[in-house]
């Protein structure tokens, strides 16, 4: 069994025109929110692999 990090974007992003142009394409604001969410979710795992690169810590969840 392997550990997998899940970033539940569907739960996090508003489902409206601020985040999406259409059913599957992000606006600039939506793409930024996507990146922030994914980074916040994977940062703890990445910090364990390369602690020297994450001296400032990870964003709060």
Q: Per residue in 9-61, pLDDT tens? A: 889 888 899 999 998 999 999 999 999 999 999 999 899 889 888 888 888 87
Residue 12 resides in a domain: no
Q: Which domain holds residue 46?
A: 18-61
**Count of the separate structural domains present in the chain:** 1
Residue 8 resides in a domain: no
Residues 14/7, Cβ–Cβ less than 8 Å: no
Residue 2 resides in a domain: no
Residue 40 resides in a domain: yes
Per-residue pLDDT, 4: 86
Given a cut of 80, whether residue 1 has pLDDT beyond it is no
Per-residue pLDDT, 40: 93
Residue 3 resides in a domain: no
Residue 10 resides in a domain: no
Residue 35 resides in a domain: yes
Residue 52 resides in a domain: yes
The Cα 3–Cα 36 span in angstroms is: 21
């Amino acid at each position: 069994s392997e550990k997998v990090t899940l970033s539940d974007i569907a739960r996090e992003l508003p489902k409206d025109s601020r985040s999406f142009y259409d059913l599957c394409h992000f606006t600039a604001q939506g793409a930024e929110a996507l990146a922030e969410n994914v980074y916040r979710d994977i940062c703890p795992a990445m910090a364990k692999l390369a602690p020297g690169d994450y001296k400032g810590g990870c964003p709060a969840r």
